[in-house]
Structure 1
Amino acid sequence: MNVAIVQAHLEWENVPVNLKLFNKRIAAIEGANIIVLPEMFASGFTMKGKERVAPFYEAVYQCMQEWAREKDALIMGSTVYFEDEHYYNRLLVAFPDGKILHYDKKHLFTMGEEKEHFTAGNELLVFDYQGVRIAPFICYDLRFPVWSRNTCGYDLAVYVANWPEARRQPWQILLMARAIENQCYVIGVNRVGEDGVGLSYSGDSAVISPKGDVLVACEPFADEVKQVDIDLKALREFRVKFPVLEDRDEFTIED
């Protein structure tokens, strides 16, 4: 299976411009089965979702459906979503046949005031696509290994992010840690550039093997797309040869 990671500079709170940007980037991708975009790819990590992003939700939704259909690929990325009087940082999963699944960010970033503007999700999403079991997560979720513990037998964890340059080393290390401890492939897609509150983003988007090896990585601070094949047969053979998950501690998550 071929995966594409799209690392890009985001125009702050400018949904039409960002949709045009990703339309161009995605159009140039060939042969990918899965295409992953950053967190809040249409706006950047804004706390003004009500005013600047929510009015464009249908446009974002439709673009993702169109990209999935045109590229015959799964498209993943998060945006601001309003439902039942609540705003969510919602990761959309667009299938080529038009179907949409979603995951709402569980761990809201307190230091960035995300809890004051958004409602946390409380359900994991694990789904199948072309024989691959996939679990999506959003940014700050990466720091909480209990939430992503592989009790559902997923093969691929996907993290979309707006992760600042100041904490780039934890981002890189935690992506490898999640891959190793869960015996799965991990995709991490981050943005680059500077946002409207002065934070800089280095990107460091990558695809990590179940052994913690970096299979492909974007250049820091660069607008670019990288593609790589992931080998599900090799993953399953590795799990049989080294069945560490069989010895895991059992636990339950309670709110």
Structure 2
Amino acid sequence: MLKTFLISALLFTVVKCDVFDQLTQETRKIINDSLIPGAEIRQCTCEEQSECVKEMKTQAFECVDTCWDKFGSISSKPDELKKCFSDRDDLMDSVLDCFEHNVDSCLAKHEDKKIQPVDIDKMFTLGVERINKTSAKMTKTLSGSIRKIVDTVGEFGLCVKDCFVAKNKPEGYCFTRKDCQPSIADKKARKTLKTCTKQIDFKKEAGELCECTVKAGLNELSQYCPMLKLIGQRGGRKG
């Protein structure tokens, strides 16, 4: 899921979109649309939440490895392409850690505090759908070769989601097994995510990432790399 986000963010930067505004503005709707009407579940302790987040991140990265061959249709060097994004895993991990520790979604100690649960399957499905929909909308005026990249990113994201769901079918999600969920207030979540994503100077990262992907076989992006590097340099001088 993280690499789907990062690849989509690169494409948004290509078309001069506000990357994180585009990718976070749907957060509230995704959460609200995933809520289970009339249901209640215990709110997790921070220890329980941390254990589940760690497990789910591991599963997601395993699914990235499983699904990465999707990029063989657009790159002659899919392993090199993967390294372009894997080298930035620490950036995305820092965003997730920041979000987890600042969103106030868990309890310090075990309490029987009830919250409205979300349908986890539905939430991941909606998340992938929104990323793909926004990607397609933002790139519809670009060339067919760029749209092919967008389509491949969409196929990759769907594959990761399906793999992730399948991994949790036998025994259920970690949160399901613990019979608890985090309490993610939509306003707080959007504010926290926006704050945490500011850790990444994506305008700077995008230029380097673009050049790396071109060397890894995505030649269609080569015309955008000089522009992205220039934007990154200007952003750095302003910062």
TM-score of the pair, normalised by structure 1: 0.24
Which has the greater radius of gyration? 2
Which protein is richer in helix relative to its size? Answer: 2
TM superposition score normalised by structure 2? 0.25
Relative contact order (C-alpha < 8 Å, sep 6+): which is higher?
A: 2
The structure with more strand, counted as a fraction of residues: 1
